[in-house]
Chain A
Amino acid sequence: MAHGKSGSGLEHVFLENRAALLRFLRARGAGEAAEDLVQEVWLKVANAPAGPVGAPLSYLYAVANRLMIDRYRSAHATALREREWTATQFDIATGRSDAPDAERLVAARQLAALVEQLLNDLEPPRVAQVFRRHRVDGVAQRDLAAEFGVSLSTIEADLRKAYRALNDFRAKMEVAQDEG
Chain B
Amino acid sequence: MQADEQIRDQALSWALRTGDPAFADWEAFTAWLEADPAHAAAYDAVAAAVADAAEVLAAAPANDDAPLLSVARRRWMGGAIAAALAVVALVGVLNRPGGAELYETAPGETQLIALADGSTIELAGGTVLEMPEGTSTREAVLREGQALFTIVHNDADPFVLLAGADRLVDAGTVFDVKLGQSGLTLGVSEGAVIYNPAAANLRVDAGNGLVARPGRAPVVAALAPELVGEWREGRLTFDMAPLREVAEDLTRATGIAFTARPGGRDQAISGSIVLAPVLADPRSLEGLLGVSLTRRGDGWEIAGQ
Bin chain B's interface residue count: 35 or more
Decide if A94 touches B280 in the complex (CB within 8 Å): yes
Residues in A whose Cβ lies below 8 Å from that of B56 = 79-80, 108, 111-112, 115
Decide if B84 touches A172 in the complex (CB within 8 Å): yes
Shortest C-beta distance, A67 to chain B (Å), equals 12
B19 at the interface (CB under 8 A from A): yes
Q: Nearest chain-A residue to B16 (Cβ)?
A: A159
Contact status of A107 and B74, CB under 8 A, knowing A27-B33, A61-B26, A116-B60: yes
For chain A residues 107-133, which have a beta carbon within 8 Å of chain B?
107-119, 131-132
User: 1/0 per position for A46-64, CB-CB distance to B under 8 A?
Assistant: 0000000001011001100
Identify which of B64-72, B167-175, B188-196 touches chain A: B64-72
The one of A76, A82, A132 in contact with B77, judged by C-beta atoms closer than 8 angstroms, is: A82
A149 at the interface (CB under 8 A from B): no
B88 at the interface (CB under 8 A from A): yes
Decide if A72 touches B48 in the complex (CB within 8 Å): yes
Name the residue in A23, A73, A113 with the highest tally of chain B Cβ atoms < 10 Å from its Cβ: A113
B3 at the interface (CB under 8 A from A): no
Residues in B whose Cβ lies below 8 Å from that of A100 = 279-280
Shortest C-beta distance, B93 to chain A (Å), equals 13
Q: Nearest chain-B residue to A179 (Cβ)?
A: B79
B30 at the interface (CB under 8 A from A): yes
For chain A residues 126-180, which have a beta carbon within 8 Å of chain B?
131-132, 134-136, 138, 140-142, 156, 159-160, 162-164, 166-167, 169-174, 176-177, 179-180
B152 at the interface (CB under 8 A from A): no
Q: Nearest chain-A residue to B81 (Cβ)?
A: A110
A106 at the interface (CB under 8 A from B): yes
Decide if B52 touches A170 in the complex (CB within 8 Å): yes
B217 at the interface (CB under 8 A from A): no
Residues in A whose Cβ lies below 8 Å from that of B199 = none
Interface of chain B: mostly helix, strand, loop or mixed: helix
Q: Nearest chain-B residue to A61 (Cβ)?
A: B26
User: 1/0 per position for B91-111, CB-CB distance to A under 8 A?
Assistant: 010000000000000000000
Q: Nearest chain-B residue to A97 (Cβ)?
A: B280
Decide if A78 touches B46 in the complex (CB within 8 Å): no
CA distance A28 to B284 in the complex (A): 41
Shortest C-beta distance, A11 to chain B (Å), equals 19
Contact status of A138 and B280, CB under 8 A, knowing A117-B68, A166-B53: no
B156 at the interface (CB under 8 A from A): no
Decide if A110 touches B279 in the complex (CB within 8 Å): no
Contact status of A72 and B47, CB under 8 A, knowing A83-B78, A89-B277: yes
Q: Nearest chain-A residue to B75 (Cβ)?
A: A106
Interface of chain A: mostly helix, strand, loop or mixed: helix
B234 at the interface (CB under 8 A from A): yes
Decide if A90 touches B281 in the complex (CB within 8 Å): yes
Decide if B44 touches A68 in the complex (CB within 8 Å): yes
Residues in B whose Cβ lies below 8 Å from that of A140 = 20-22
Shortest C-beta distance, A134 to chain B (Å), equals 7
Q: Nearest chain-B residue to A112 (Cβ)?
A: B60
CA distance A93 to B279 in the complex (A): 13
A16 at the interface (CB under 8 A from B): no
Residues in A whose Cβ lies below 8 Å from that of B280 = 90, 94, 96, 99-100
CA distance A173 to B74 in the complex (A): 17
Shortest C-beta distance, B68 to chain A (Å), equals 5
Q: Nearest chain-A residue to B43 (Cβ)?
A: A28
The one of B51, B69, B274 in contact with A117, judged by C-beta atoms closer than 8 angstroms, is: B69
The one of A58, A109, A112, A172 in contact with B26, judged by C-beta atoms closer than 8 angstroms, is: A58
The one of A23, A79, A89, A110 in contact with B74, judged by C-beta atoms closer than 8 angstroms, is: A110
Residues in A whose Cβ lies below 8 Å from that of B281 = 90, 93-94, 96
The one of B51, B66, B83 in contact with A173, judged by C-beta atoms closer than 8 angstroms, is: B83
Residues in B whose Cβ lies below 8 Å from that of A85 = 276
Residues in A whose Cβ lies below 8 Å from that of B37 = 29
Contact status of A82 and B23, CB under 8 A, knowing A69-B44, A69-B47, A110-B85: no
A84 at the interface (CB under 8 A from B): yes
Which A-B residue pairs are the 10 nearest by beta carbons? A180-B79, A90-B277, A112-B60, A176-B83, A27-B33, A135-B54, A170-B49, A61-B26, A72-B44, A29-B40
Given contacts A94-B281, A108-B56, 16 further A-B contacts (CB under 8 A): A72-B44, A84-B276, A85-B276, A88-B277, A90-B274, A106-B74, A107-B74, A110-B74, A110-B77, A115-B57, A119-B53, A135-B19, A172-B83, A172-B84, A179-B79, A180-B233
